[in-house]
Every structure is written in structure tokens, then in C-alpha cells.
Amino acid sequence: MPLTPADVRNFTFSKPPAGRPGYHEDEVDDFLDLVEAELVRLLQDNAELRAQLAQLDEQLRTLSTETPADPGPPRPPGPVTTPVRPLITLQTVPDTEHDLRAARVLVLAQERADQLTEQAQVTAEQTLSQARTDSEQLLTNARNEAEDLIHQARTEAKTILQDARTTAQTLQQQSQNRAASLTEEATRQRTEILDALNQDKTLLEDTIDKLRAFELEYRTQLATYLHSLLHQLDGLETAPLAEQVHTPQDLVGSGLDKRGQTGQ
């Protein structure tokens, strides 16, 4: 079945199976448009050649119809003049040469038409073959380009994923370092605070011990003073006791002096 421009124009390629690379539809459509235009031109040239061939055939039939018929049997001899025969000869020879020339022209035209038709067919076949080759090349290029794009996309995806993992690991390491630094700082501050509290505790305990010693001394002196007062009241050793016993003011002052020395 011969290929027509309508066949090229209306032909549609099926979609490739899922997961397999396809072809660029716009490039295929543009190429089919070129094939259609070239096929139309070749068919038009072929039609013109056929029309010329038909015209030459018509001219040949016309020339064959106009060829003089057979003159028939010879006439009986009669009186004829001398110039008659040359005149008939002059009229017959040109007609025969004209027919021969017309036949030759017709043969040449037929041969030329056959050559042009054969050349047109060869050109059409070559063009169609070239179109198929170019189409296959375009499809191969489209397939290779699609595979390259897929490979490039996968490579870029792997690179982005690796960068994301590296960034995540870096952020995680920074967070861990920051947490360790904060923990160390908190531990140091806690140690300093505990040391300060221990120092305050030691100072307070020392102060309490000093206050307790002062209280004990004060109680002892007070008891001694009261005991001496009791002896005074009883009249025992009045003069020597009076010299030894301190007044309450002296006792209190002595205790405060010792307290101040203890505080120092």
C-alpha cells in the first residue's frame, strides 16, 4: 500500500510502557511535517510528469490519425505530365519525415518521462529512507538525552542527600559540643557555689563555737561572781573577798572584751 501525505500526517506513535524512556513528541511531529511536505512535493512532481506523458501520448495519437492513408491500387496509365510526379514525391517525403520525427520525439519523451518517473520514485524512496533514518536517529538521541537527564538527576539527588546528611551530622556534633560545654559550665558554677556555701558554713560553725565558748565563760564568771556575793553576804573573808570580787559592770565588760577578741 503506497504511503500518502495523509498517512504521515495522521500517523500517531504509541506511548512507551511505564518506566521506559519515550521520545520528544514535538521533534517527532516537526520531522513528520518535513516528511509530509517532501512527499507532497514528490507526488506533485510525479503527477506533473504523468500529465506531460499523457499529453505526449495524446499528441502521438493525433499524429497517427493525421498520417495519410494508403493510396490503394495504382491507377491505370493515362496521360500525365512530367511535373506531376515530382510534386507528389515532394508532398509525400515531408509527411513521412514529419511522422518519423514525431515518433522519435514521442519515444524520447516517453524515455524521459520514464527516467523522471524512475528518478522521482528513487528520490521518494531515498527521502523516505532518510526520513526513517533521521527519525530513528532522533528517537535514539531523545532516548540518550532522557537517560542522561535521569542519570544527572539521580547524581544531583545523591549529592543533595549527602550534603543534607553532612549538614545534619555537623549540626548534631555542634549541639552535642554545646550541650557538653553548658553541662561543664553548670558543673563548675555548682562547684563554686558549693565551695562558697561550705566556706560560709565553716565560718558560721566557727562563729557558733566562739559564741558557745563565750557563753560558757560568761556563765562561769557569773557563777563565780554570784558565789562571791553569797560569801560576802555571809560575812566570810570580807576584806580579801572585797578586793577580789569584781563588780557586775567589770564582769560584763571583761566578757565583752573577750568576746571581741574571740570575734577578731
Q: What is the pLDDT of residue 7?
A: 73
Q: What is the pLDDT of residue 210?
A: 92
Q: What is the pLDDT of residue 66?
A: 62
pTM for the model = 0.31
CA angle 221–226–229, rounded 5-degree value: 125
242, 243, 256, 21: which is closest to 140 by C-alpha?
A: 21
Per-residue pLDDT tens digits of the chain, which is 264 residues long: 566 777 777 777 667 677 676 667 777 788 788 888 888 888 898 889 888 888 888 888 887 776 544 444 444 444 444 443 433 333 444 456 655 666 666 677 677 767 777 877 787 778 778 877 887 888 788 888 888 888 888 898 889 988 998 999 999 999 899 999 899 999 999 999 999 999 999 999 999 999 999 999 999 999 999 888 888 888 754 445 444 444 545 544 554 454 455 444
C-alpha 67/C-alpha 92 separation (Å) is 10
Kindly list the distances between the CA atom of residue 82 and the CA atoms of 75, 76, 87, 92, 108, in Å, as whole numbers in the listed order.
16, 16, 10, 17, 41
C-alpha 259/C-alpha 264 separation (Å) is 9
The domain segmentation of the chain, as residue ranges, is: 1-10+24-67+93-197, 209-263
